[in-house]
């Protein structure tokens, strides 16, 4: 995160306060990154607000610019500006979606996570990151090259945030419970399955230099395990990856990162595999 030179901060005038802006200021103080403020507005009615915010931030010695823009939808607007300005991180406040509306329509924040080429930080709480716990969520069971690279990126970003905030990094990996087919003489209950998974975790530990007491291996669905462990540790930010699933499978199943947004009591940083980033950048360039 220290290498990010420009932060795109989504300002939402309808909110009483901007948690996204406060988190962006915290990051920019350490990284010296440029702040680009964006209001997604068809009518361009918030010039005065942006002028006030710019002046205040400039007085606080931040390097800042701003704009109002609109391209088809809120998430599309954010993507257009992110690409045009070359921002390396999008910071947006997350407000829980209405459950009924979420069934009928794909939430804007889900679309942002699916299509944004750069990392997205969804801010949910006022809590200070300083001296807190950073939780990196990985799926060690997926050990193909793409997922291994994504896991390394997740842990690396976790280490960077922990360094920035003088925090502790913990890693969580959920593994599935054994199916009935596995409960036989070959797999007496789940002992051998757990042993196999833990062996994979040891390889991952050595590669990513994660200490024993900072690695948590839990059985169960990731969308249940991650929020539970995050709450027990009091995590201030959770770092996750997404394969940006779209189409019917995405609508019916959902990515883990999307499913846990409203379950987590922490901020959420979402990353993507390198090849997915390249693909999304190509799509964004065609818009």
Please compute the mean of the pLDDT values over residues 25-36 and round it to a whole number: 95
**Between 114 and 161, residue with greater pLDDT:** 161
Hey, is 7 helix, strand or coil? strand
- Decide which of 3.90.400.10, 3.30.360.10, 3.90.1170.40, 3.40.50.12370 is the CATH code for 133-286: 3.40.50.12370
The rounded mean pLDDT for the chain is: 84
Q: How confident is the model at residue 88 (pLDDT cuts 50, 70, 90)?
A: very high
Share of the chain above pLDDT 70, in %: 79
Q: State the span(s) of the chain assigned CATH 3.40.50.12370.
A: 133-286
Phi, psi (5° rounding) for residue 5?
-95, -20
Q: How far apart are CA 247 and CA 238, in angstroms?
A: 26
Residue 284 predicted with pLDDT over 80: no
* Reported pTM: 0.87
Q: What is the predicted pLDDT for the residue at 95?
A: 86
Q: How far apart are CA 132 and CA 54, in angstroms?
A: 30
Q: Give domain 6-93's CATH superfamily.
A: HUPs (3.40.50.620)
Q: How far apart are CA 248 and CA 112, in angstroms?
A: 17
Q: What is the predicted pLDDT for the residue at 287?
A: 60
34, 63 contact by CB (below 8 A)? yes
Residue 109 predicted with pLDDT over 80: yes
Q: How far apart are CA 199 and CA 195, in angstroms?
A: 6
Q: How far apart are CA 79 and CA 244, in angstroms?
A: 15
Q: State the span(s) of the chain assigned CATH 3.40.50.620.
A: 6-93
Q: What tokens does 133 get? A: 């716990």
**Between 204 and 21, residue with greater pLDDT:** 21
């Amino acid at each position: 995160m220290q290498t990010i030179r420009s932060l795109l901060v989504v300002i939402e005038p309808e909110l009483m306060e901007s948690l996204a802006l406060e988190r962006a200021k915290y990051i920019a103080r350490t990284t010296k990154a440029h702040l680009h403020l964006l209001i997604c507005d068809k009518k361009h009615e918030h010039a005065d607000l942006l002028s006030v915010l710019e002046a205040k931030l400039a007085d606080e010695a931040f390097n800042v610019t701003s704009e109002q823009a609109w391209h088809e939808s809120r998430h599309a607007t954010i993507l257009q500006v992110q690409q045009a300005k070359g921002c390396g991180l999008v910071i947006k406040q997350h407000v829980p979606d209405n459950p009924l509306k979420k069934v009928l329509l794909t939430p804007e924040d889900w679309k942002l996570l699916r299509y944004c080429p750069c990392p997205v930080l969804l801010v949910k709480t006022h809590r200070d990151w300083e001296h807190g716990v950073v939780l990196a969520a990985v799926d060690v069971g997926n050990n193909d090259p793409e997922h291994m690279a994504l896991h390394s990126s997740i842990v690396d970003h976790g280490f960077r945030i922990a360094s920035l905030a003088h925090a502790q990094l913990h890693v969580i990996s959920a593994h599935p419970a054994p199916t009935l087919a596995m409960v036989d003489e070959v797999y007496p209950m789940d002992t051998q399955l757990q042993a196999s998974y833990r062996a994979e975790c040891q390889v991952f530990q050595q590669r990513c230099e994660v200490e024993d007491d900072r690695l948590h291996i839990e059985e169960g669905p990731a969308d249940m395990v991650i929020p539970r462990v995050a709450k027990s540790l009091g995590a201030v930010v959770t770092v996750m990856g997404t394969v940006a699933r779209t189409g019917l499978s995405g609508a019916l199943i959902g990515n883990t990162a999307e499913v846990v947004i409203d379950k987590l009591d922490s901020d959420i940083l979402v990353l993507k595999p390198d090849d997915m980033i390249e693909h999304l950048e190509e799509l964004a360039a065609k818009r």
